[in-house]
Amino acid sequence: AQTVTQSQPEMSVQEAETVTLSCTYDTSENNYYLFWYKQPPSRQMILVIRQEAYKQQNATENRFSVNFQKAAKSFSLKISDSQLGDTAMYFCAFMMPNTGNQFYFGTGTSLTVIP
Amino acid sequence: DSGVTQTPKHLITATGQRVTLRCSPRSGDLSVYWYQQSLDQGLQFLIQYYNGEERAKGNILERFSAQQFPDLHSELNLSSLELGDSALYFCASSLTQLPSYNSPLHFGNGTRLTVT
């Protein structure tokens, strides 16, 4: 079975500082995709960043970047220059093409940016 | 704004009742997915439709059903409601039959269901 684990239920960071959210997953497959979603108080799920497993280069989207360690099955999200608007629940997600491309989500990390 | 519209935003009902949640996908998206998010749990996949046909089933209870209409909007029907059905129900859409790196899921704002 595929699982996604986010071991940090809650985190906080000072505004303008950097924070890293951890995510590990378990699969025996070699071809898959990884995503980070953000769920602010508005409850909308917003795609933050995505990574293809066959790409060694870590994905970057503005202040958001990932540290993808395939051998360790780790996919952490780094938020630089944290802003108050980054306060949200962050979900790590995992998708494999050969399971109908269904998404498997972690339980989320609640991030609070402190002014 | 993801372009996915869900109604209603909030729903409060009693045990044993039946409710219908509605979702309009992003313009052009053919796939609709339903997810349940309970307290202390991540998103649980319920069911997927593509262009009107059921494509995949997840952990959906027999008391729950869904359909996708010719105009591509979808409805999730929850019947014989129990207290444990209280949750946030999300709809997501994607362009292709299967979500992919280039066609990821786009989520709506969710419907908060409270069963009393």
Choose, out of B5, B39, B101, the residue to mutate when testing the contact with A (most A CBs < 10 Å).
B101
Q: Which residues of B touch A95 (CB under 8 A)?
A: 99
Q: Which amino acid is at A79?
A: I
The secondary structure of chain A as a DSSP string is --EEE---SEEEEETTS-EEE--EEE-S-S--EEEEEEE-TT---EEEEEEETT--SPPEETTEEEEEETTTTEEEEEE-S--GGG-EEEEEEEE-GGGTT-EEE---EEEEEE-
Q: Which residues contact A96 (CB under 8 A, 6 or more apart)?
A: A2, A27, A29, A31, A32, A33, A102
Residues of chain B below pLDDT 70: 40-41, 99-101
pLDDT over 90, % of chain B: 71
Q: In the block, which residue shows the tokens 């339980």?
A: A107
Of A42, A91, A95, the CB nearest to B42: A91
Q: Which residues of B touch A8 (CB under 8 A)?
A: none
B40 — contact with chain A (CB < 8 Å)?
Answer: yes
- In angstroms, rounded to a whole number, what is the distance separating the alpha carbons of residues A3 and A26? 5
Task: Identify whether the C-beta of residue A23 lies closer than 8 Å to the C-beta of residue A75.
Answer: yes
Compute the Cα dihedral for B34, B32, A30, A8 and give only its sign.
negative
Q: Which residues of A touch B45 (CB under 8 A)?
A: 102-104
pLDDT of residue A87: 96
The secondary structure of B15-58 as a DSSP string is TT--EEEEEEPPTT--EEEEEEE-TT--EEEEEEEETTEEEEE-
Contact criterion met (CB < 8 Å) for B42 and A108: yes
**How confident is the prediction along chain A (115 residues), in pLDDT tens digits per residue?**
668 999 999 999 999 999 999 999 998 888 888 999 998 887 778 889 999 888 888 989 899 999 999 999 999 999 999 999 999 999 999 887 766 667 788 989 999 999 9
Dmax (CA) for chain B in angstroms is 41
Task: Identify whether the C-beta of residue B26 lies closer than 8 Å to the C-beta of residue B32.
Answer: no
CA distances from B8 to B54, B86, B112, B113, B116 (A): 23, 14, 8, 9, 17
Q: State the smallest CA–CA distance between residue B111 and chain A in angstroms.
A: 9
Q: Which residues of A touch B102 (CB under 8 A)?
A: none
Nearest Cα neighbor of A78 from A8, A11, A7, A20 is A20
Q: Which residue of B has its CA nearest to A106?
A: B42
